[in-house]
Amino acid sequence: MTADEAMTLNSNGDGATVRLTIPARAEYITLCRLALTGIARVRSLSDELLADLKLALTEAASNSVRHAYGEDRPGVVEISYELLPDRLVIEVTDEGGGFDPGEAKGAPEELSEGGLGIAIIRAIADAVEIGRQPDGRGSRLRFEKALN
């Protein structure tokens, strides 16, 4: 693991949280999926559920990589995986220009490529939150899926 990449694990009695920080470059999105595969081994998830979660995560991370930073501006994408007894919560954040959730609410035929990604995430997840980070910088996409 290099200085550009970091992974941490926090655990409490109710669950565990893994945080992964990657460079905002497409070739690093695979690491997000690999971390999710490792987390899935802690809890037996069906192959179908794991594939759906990987798709949603890939769409979320791709949006940050694609839209958060300009071509010449380096940045990072942070992914948090919170494994709770009854659900998995995944949060993808960046410190880019932010995201307008209203842009992703149209009918599928009205959505751009990124908007289709948001529609896919909404179709897979049980709950989705999209907006700015609490400090007002960058974007935050949080989704959760029940594991029962």
Cα–Cα distance, 29 to 76 (Å, whole number): 11
Cβ(56)–Cβ(120) under 8 Å? yes
pTM above 0.75, yes or no: yes
Given a cut of 70, whether residue 136 has pLDDT beyond it is yes
Of the pLDDT bands very low, low, confident and very high (cuts 50, 70, 90), residue 1 is very low
Residue with the bigger pLDDT between 65 and 125: it is 125
Residue 12: per-residue pLDDT: 55
* Residue 114: burial class (beta carbons within 10 Å; 0-12, 13-18, 19+): middle
Q: Which residue has the higher pLDDT, 18 or 108?
A: 18
Residue 78 near residue 19 (C-beta atoms within 8 A): yes
Task: Report the C-alpha gap between 130 and 97 in whole angstroms.
Answer: 14
Give the C-alpha separation, 26 to 63, whole Å: 10
Task: Give the pLDDT confidence score for residue 16 in this predicted structure.
Answer: 86
What percentage of the chain has pLDDT greater than the value 70?
Answer: 78
pLDDT of residue 29: 95
Q: pLDDT tens digit string along 51-83?
A: 999 999 999 999 898 888 877 778 999 999 999
Decide: 65 and 119 in contact? Cβ < 8 Å.
Answer: no
The predicted pLDDT at position 111 comes to 41
- The mean pLDDT value for 94-111 works out to 57
Please say if the pLDDT value at position 96 is more than 60.
yes
- How large is the C-alpha radius of gyration of the chain? 15
Q: Which domains does the chain have, with CATH numbers?
A: 6-146 (3.30.565.10)
